Every structure is written in structure tokens, then in C-alpha cells.
Amino acid sequence: MDGWTGFIYCGSRSARVPGVSNTHRQQQVVSCRFARSIPLFSSQLPVAVTKSGGGAMSARLPRKRFYRARAHSNPLSDSHFPVPICPSDVDFSSHYPHFFPGPGPAHAHDGPRPMVRFADVGCGFGGLLVGLSPLFPDTLMIGMELRDKVTEYVKDRIQGLRATNPGQYNNISVVRTNSMKYIPNYFQKAQLSKMFFLFPDPHFKEKNHRRRVISVQLLDEYAYVMEVGGIIYTVTDVEELGEWMKSCLEKHPLFEAVGEEEINTDPVVKLLTSATEEGQKVARNGGQTFMAIYRRVASKED
């Protein structure tokens, strides 16, 4: 695209910015912590295109082999990416331009603004988001991923899907962040109606259990951003981790188990394993999955 010639360096990553020549990019180094004006997700990023046999241009979806990523990332380490001070600082208009009247964070506009309602924590390659999007076309949902290359892949995947399916997939997006640290920075109290924790890193060693994304302590934060009646979905192919997550949810006073009858009629449940890349791999290998689904209940303060 015209004008996209320079780069801003953010840790080990780079992002193209207009009007900066490659010969001067060393003088244009900007730390991520100062790049607050850069949208977390740009609807203007170019999508790869190819020419079909008839001469028409069509979008090309990204390929995973070009996005080399680690299987896991340490959630306790310091990472270099922009973090909003509070939910009103997040510019969700850049994530969902179809749903917003204009750019800018929430405090820059009068009147109600669309709210993200679903959060896929550790979204991986975005399979669940892609599966949920047509089921809830008017519901904004976001994936939260710590690994930079995986986040980049999901961004490009969503852009490609939007380009090849006009009018669809406008309600999904992704952000690179550490959900174990910054969930309250993105969502207001009682904002979310669904949270997903699918095939998280098991952190087998006992000394690393504090790195697990589900714990009684972290459930306090998840309960804060979930509305009363909201549903939290967890699934894993590691039995010990499945028991751990279920035990944490059972111990927490603000969550109660969802009944089998309701689970069987929930259209989301079948996507937990069939739509995600990790779930598909488990199915191919004949593995077993362990699911725990709980509802946010009211407290005295609610």
C-alpha cells in the first residue's frame, strides 16, 4: 500500500508506519510504552492479495509456517507491548470499525459505545473466534494472546477473512497482552458475558503452578469483569489440569457449576473442541478432553 515504508520498533517486533523511509528508520526508534497513539489493531493494515485466473484480485489467508512461534510463553516475565491504563483508554474502534461511528477511545465520544462481551484468553490461532463469529454476529469478541507471532497470525487471519467474506467476521479481533496481569485494564466491571480458557499451558511442575491461568486468586479478577449469569468455559486434554481448574472454580464463592442439561443445549460447547486447532489435534490423536463450565453468581456487592 502507498506510503507504508518505515518501521516502529517495539521490543523484538516492528510495525510499518507511513511517511518514514527505511534509510532513516534507525532514527525513528520508538519504545512501545510511548506508542500510545498507535491502535492495537489497525483495520488499514494491508492484506496479501493474489491474482486469480480471470485477473481479479482476491485476498490470501496467512499460513502458519510463516509465523514461527514458541509453544508457550512465560506469563510471569516482563513483555514489551502497550498496556492501557484503564478500559476507557482502549481504542476498540480500531478493532471493530464496522461497529463504531468513529475512531478513538471510549472517553473521546459521547453516548454509549459497543462493548466487547466475549473474551478468549490465550486464543492461540483464533479458531474459536472464527467459529463463534457467525453464531453471534452482533456480539463483539476478542482474543487475548501473549505470543507475538501468534497474535500477528490471528490479526492477518481476521483481515483475510474480512476481505474474502465481505460483511462477515467484523465482530472478532485480537490483542497481544498478558491476561494474567492486565484483564482489568481492558474490561470494566461486569462487562463480559463469556470467558474461554481452552487448552491452557498445564505447567506440570509444582513450582510452576502459580503460572497457571486458572487459580482461586485469578478467579477474583475474572469474576470482577464478568456479569452475573456470565459463563466461564475451561477445557484441557490434561486430566490433572482439568481437576485443578474444576477444583479452583468449585472453591470460589462467585462461581457455580452449570447443569448438564444446559451444557447439552449450549451451542458454544461443541465448538470448544471442534473449532480450536488444539482441540482438533487432540481429536486426531484420539485423546480425551476434560471440561468445566461454571456460571458467575451474585455477591453481596452485586
Among candidate residues 201, 220, 237, 266, the one labeled active-site is 201
- Cell 501468534, residue located: 150
Residues 239, 4: Cα–Cα separation, whole Å? 48
Domain edges within the chain: 62-296
**Dihedral sign for Cα atoms in the order 219, 224, 229, 234:** negative
Helix 179-186 to helix 216-225 angle (10° resolution) is: 20
Residue 81, C-alpha cell as written in the block: 507491548
Q: What is the pLDDT of residue 13?
A: 41
Whether 201 is a known active-site residue: answer yes
H or E segment and range at residue 294: strand 290-296
Check the annotation: does 161 bind a ligand. no
Check the annotation: does 271 bind a ligand. no
Residues 71, 45: Cα–Cα separation, whole Å? 26
What single string gives the DSSP state of each residue in 6-20? Answer: EEEEETTEEEEEET-
Q: What is the pLDDT of residue 81?
A: 79
Q: What is the pLDDT of residue 52?
A: 44
The angle formed by the CA atoms of residues 5, 156 and 138, to the nearest 5 degrees, is: 125
Q: What is the pLDDT of residue 82?
A: 86
- Which of 75, 73, 69, 72 lies closest to 214, judged by CA? 75
Q: What's the fold here for domain 62-296?
A: Rossmann fold (3.40.50)
Q: Taking the chain (302 residues) in consecutive chunks of 10 residues, what is each chunk's mean pLDDT? A: 37 42 40 39 43 47 55 55 90 92 61 89 95 98 94 94 96 95 96 98 91 95 98 98 98 98 96 93 95 95 76
Residues 274, 62: Cα–Cα separation, whole Å? 21
Check the annotation: does 104 bind a ligand. no
Q: What per-residue string of b and e applies to 155-185 under the rule 16 or more CB within 10 Å gives b?
A: bbbbbbbbbeeeeebbbbbbbbbbbbbbbee
| 199 phi/psi in degrees, rounded to 5 | 50, 55
Q: What is the pLDDT of residue 80?
A: 72
Amino acid at residue number 229? G
Q: What is the pLDDT of residue 5?
A: 34
Check the annotation: does 179 bind a ligand. yes
Check the annotation: does 289 bind a ligand. no
H or E segment and range at residue 141: strand 140-145
Check the annotation: does 250 bind a ligand. no
Give yes or no for a contact between 197 and 122, defined as CB atoms under 8 angstroms apart: yes
- Which of 108, 144, 100, 101 lies closest to 126, judged by CA? 144
Q: What is the pLDDT of residue 16?
A: 44
